[in-house]
Structure 1
Amino acid sequence: MNHDTTSPAGATDRLTTRSVFGAPCWVSLTSRDLKATEEFYSAVLGWQWRPARLGDSFRIALADGAPVAGIAAVATMWQMAVAWTPYFAVTSADQAAGRVQERGGTSAVGPISLPPGRAALLADRDGATFGVWEGELFTDWETWRRAQPAFIKLHTRDAFDAAIFYGEVLDWASGRPGACEVGYEGGEVVLRSNGDVVARIESGALEAAPDPTIRPHWQVHFFAADVAACARAAELHGGSVLSEAAGEAVLRDPDGAPFTVTARRGR
Structure 2
Amino acid sequence: MTGSTSGTASAPAPLTGPAAPCWVNLMTLNLESAQEFYGPVMGWTFRPGKLGQEFSVARRGDVPVAGIGAVATTFHVAVAWTPYFAVQDADATAARIRERSGTVAVGPLTLGKGRGALAADRDGAGFGIWERTAPATSPPAPDGHAHAWLRLRTRNAFDAAIFYGEVLDWASGRPGSCEVAYAKDEVVVRCGGRQLARISSGALEAAPDPLVRPHWQVNFPVDDVAAAVASARTLGGSLVEELSRPEGREATLIDPDGGLFTLTDVHHAEDTGAP
- Residue 86 (structure 1) aligned with residue 83 (structure 2): yes
Which amino acid in structure 1 is aligned with residue 118 of structure 2?
Answer: L
The answer on 1:171 being equivalent to 2:169 is yes
* Pair 1:122–1:141, CA change in 2 (3 A): farther
**What pairs with 1:91-102 in structure 2 (closer than 5 Å)?**
91-102=88-99
Q: Which residue of 2 aligns with 1:110?
A: 107
Give 1:207's aligned residue: none
Inter-partner Cα distance in structure 1 for 2:229 and 2:201? 26
What is the aligned partner in structure 1 of residue 71 from structure 2? 74
CA 1:186/1:236 → structure 2, altered by over 3 Å: closer, same or farther?
Answer: farther
For 1:29, which of 26, 29, 40 is the aligned residue? 26
Alignment map for 1:42-81 (pairs within 5 Å): 42-81=39-78
**5+ residue gaps in structure 1?**
205-209
Q: CA 1:105–1:76 in structure 2 vs 1: closer, same or farther (change >3 Å)?
A: same
> Which deviations, in whole Å up to 9, do the C-alpha atoms of 1:78-136 show, x marking residues without a partner?
32210001000001101110000000011101111124321111111111111000114
1:142 deviation in Å?
A: 3.9
Name the SS for the 1:166 alignment partner.
helix
CA displacement at 1:39 relative to structure 2: 1.1
Distance in 2 of aligned mates of 1:127 and 1:114 = 25
Residue equivalent to 1:200: 198
> 1:196: Cα distance to partner?
1.2
- Alpha-carbon distance in structure 1 between the residues aligned to 2:174 and 2:154: 27
- Which residue number corresponds to residue 264 of structure 2? 262
Equivalent of 2:118, from 101, 105, 121? 121
CA contact (8 A) 2:250 2:264 kept: yes
Q: Does the CA-based 8 Å contact 2:65-2:147 persist in structure 1?
A: yes
CA contact 1:63–1:147 (8 Å) conserved in 2: no
User: Is this contact kept in 2: 1:238–1:253, CA < 8 A?
Assistant: yes
Q: For residue 254 of structure 2, what is the aligned residue in structure 1?
A: 252
* Kept in 2: contact 1:7–1:137 (CA 8 A): no
| CA shift for structure 1 position 188 | 1.4
Q: Distance in 2 between matches of 1:33 and 1:147?
A: 29
Give the Cα–Cα distance (whole angstroms) in 2 for the partners of residues 103 and 25 of structure 1: 22
Deviations 1:15-44 (A, max 9, x none): 569x61111101110111211110111111
TM-score normalized with structure 2 length: 0.86
Q: Partners of 2:221 and 2:37 in 1: how far apart?
A: 16
Q: Aligned pair in 2 of structure 1 residues 31, 137: CA closer, same or farther (>3 Å)?
A: farther
Distance change >3 Å, CA 16–CA 253, structure 1 → 2: closer
The 3-state SS of whatever aligns with 2:181 is strand
Partner Cα distance (1:190, 1:217) in 2: 16
DSSP-derived class of the 2:101 partner: coil
Matches of 2:34 and 2:146 in 1, distance apart?
A: 17
Supply the distance in 1 between the matched residues of 2:152 and 2:67 (Cα, whole angstroms): 20
Identity %: 51
Q: Secondary structure at the match of 2:41?
A: helix
Asked if residue 240 in structure 1 is aligned to residue 238 in structure 2, the reply is yes
- 1:223, CA displacement in angstroms? 0.5
